[in-house]
């Protein structure tokens, strides 16, 4: 009997997540010096990691023999103080990606529908499919979530609705009043998931806490991967009602967040200098990238996040040409945008190098 006859159908039809290429892979495949490669493909922090977090992580490594605190007590406590919520209103995950999966464990079964924008962060669709539920994709309108159309796409079968603001891969955001009005109008049988992975880059991020306090079925997702530069440690969190977080905590692995990551995240929350520097430099870098791309006559999507879409013609060709020069960006054909590439905002030197190589790669 062949192995795949034993497998759940949802696994066999499951699309595979395509991550940004690691520097080492590109170096090996193309015979390049890894030291000369820049990766602007995964919306990572070009300024490194929060130094306070790194110091705390190193200290935590001294006790690698101990299991971590499965309840993330200190981190949830600190997040509670930071947000003015109760510690029970948090779930900490192995990246916010894990929390998206936990939502699937808690809420999704075959026949359920999940409303999301298209294109939006691909993991919503992957998790939906993994649990045998049906993604209902609502096209963006002028590059932003079409919240009216998303509300109209809700049916009695809808379980979850994902709103990603700023959105990946477009970098665009709906306004806070738009998001709040949408959240307030969600029907009783729907859980609203508000992915705030890039919210720290926004000036006026929506604040859904008042709606959570009213008892609405809302969960907001944040990550330490971006603004604090801790992507490799895998730590993110959600906040919502205590009831929602208890359900998500019930289905997680006992030790889902390692002790190094917990220590780093705890210290990162004190590192407002690093977070502010990241946001400030990002704004300047975005402006440089817009100027540089438009200077080459290329169209961009105006972003408020730490990445940006630029229309290059044949995205795959330009991605490959840039990669041969040691500049890794993200082709977005899989997001239905074959003419575009997504570029993460780098340091001024990285941005300048990208623009220089882009000029060559798009000169046909």
Whether the Cβ atoms of residue 260 and residue 61 lie closer than 8 Å to each other: yes
**174 lines the binding site for ligand PLP (CB under 6 A):** no
Segment lying near ligand PLP (by CB under 6 A), choices 1-9, 89-97, 257-265, 349-357: 89-97
Q: DSSP string spanning 61-124?
A: HTTTTSPP-TT-HHHHHHHHHHHTS-GGGEEEESSHHHHHHHHHHHH--TT-EEEEEESS-THH
**97 lines the binding site for ligand PLP (CB under 6 A):** yes
117 versus 361: smaller Cβ distance to ligand PLP:
117
Taking the C-alpha atoms of residue 152 and residue 184, their distance in angstroms, rounded to an integer, is 14
**164 lines the binding site for ligand PLP (CB under 6 A):** yes
**96 lines the binding site for ligand PLP (CB under 6 A):** yes
From candidates 107, 121, 194, 274, binder to ligand PLP by CB under 6 A = 121
Whether the Cβ atoms of residue 134 and residue 124 lie closer than 8 Å to each other: no
258 versus 362: smaller Cβ distance to ligand PLP:
258
From candidates 46, 95, 171, 206, binder to ligand PLP by CB under 6 A = 95
* Residue recorded with tokens 């699937």: 104
Instruction: In angstroms, give the least distance from the CB of 95 to ligand PLP.
Output: 3
104 versus 292: smaller Cβ distance to ligand PLP:
104
Taking the C-alpha atoms of residue 204 and residue 44, their distance in angstroms, rounded to an integer, is 22
**345 lines the binding site for ligand PLP (CB under 6 A):** no
Instruction: In angstroms, give the least distance from the CB of 152 to ligand PLP.
Output: 23
Whether the Cβ atoms of residue 184 and residue 210 lie closer than 8 Å to each other: no
| Rg of the chain on CA atoms, in Å | 21
b/e 26-65 (16+ beta carbons within 10 angstroms → b): bbeeeebeeeebbbbbbbbbbeebbebbbebbeebeeeee
Provide CB contacts within 8 A for 65, sequence distance 6+. Answer: none
- Binding-site size, ligand PLP (CB under 6 A): 13
From candidates 158, 225, 262, 362, binder to ligand PLP by CB under 6 A = 225
**197 lines the binding site for ligand PLP (CB under 6 A):** yes
Instruction: In angstroms, give the least distance from the CB of 194 to ligand PLP.
Output: 11
Whether the Cβ atoms of residue 43 and residue 231 lie closer than 8 Å to each other: no
**262 lines the binding site for ligand PLP (CB under 6 A):** no
**Interface with ligand PLP (CB under 6 A):** 43, 95-97, 121, 164, 168, 195, 197, 223, 225, 231, 236
């Amino acid at each position: 009997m062949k192995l795949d006859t034993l497998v759940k159908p949802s696994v066999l039809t499951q699309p595979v997540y395509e991550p940004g290429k690691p520097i080492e892979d590109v170096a090996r495949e193309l015979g390049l010096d890894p030291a000369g490669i820049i990766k602007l493909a995964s919306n990572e922090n070009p300024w490194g990691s929060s130094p306070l977090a790194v110091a705390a992580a190193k200290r935590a490594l001294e006790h690698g023999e101990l299991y971590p605190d499965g309840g993330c007590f200190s981190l949830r406590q600190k997040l509670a103080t930071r947000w003015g919520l109760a510690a029970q209103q948090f779930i900490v995950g192995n990246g916010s990606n894990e929390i998206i999966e936990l939502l699937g464990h808690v809420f999704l079964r075959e026949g359920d529908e999940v409303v999301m924008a298209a294109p939006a962060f691909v993991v919503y669709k992957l998790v939906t499919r993994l649990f045998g539920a049906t993604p209902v994709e609502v096209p963006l309108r002028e590059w932003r979530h079409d919240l009216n159309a998303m509300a109209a796409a809700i049916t009695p079968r809808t379980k979850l609705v994902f709103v990603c603001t700023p959105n990946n891969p477009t970098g665009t955001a709906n306004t806070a009043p738009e998001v709040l009005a949408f959240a307030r109008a969600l029907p009783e049988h729907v859980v609203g998931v508000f992915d705030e992975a890039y919210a720290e880059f926004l000036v006026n991020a929506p604040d859904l806490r008042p709606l959570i306090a009213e008892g609405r079925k809302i969960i907001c997702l944040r990550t330490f991967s971006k603004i604090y530069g801790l992507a490799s440690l895998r730590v993110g969190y959600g906040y919502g009602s205590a009831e929602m977080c208890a359900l998500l905590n019930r289905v997680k692995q006992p030790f889902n967040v390692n002790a190094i990551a917990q220590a780093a995240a705890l210290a990162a929350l004190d590192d407002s200098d690093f977070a502010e520097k990241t946001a400030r430099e990002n704004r300047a870098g975005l402006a440089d990238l817009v100027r540089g791309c438009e200077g080459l006559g290329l169209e961009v999507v105006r972003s408020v996040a730490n990445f940006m879409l630029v229309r290059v013609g044949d995205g795959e060709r330009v991605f490959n040409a840039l990669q041969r020069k040691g500049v890794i960006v993200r082709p977005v054909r899989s997001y239905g945008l074959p003419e575009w590439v997504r570029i993460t905002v780098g340091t001024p030197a990285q941005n300048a190098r990208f623009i220089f190589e882009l000029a060559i790669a798009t000169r046909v």
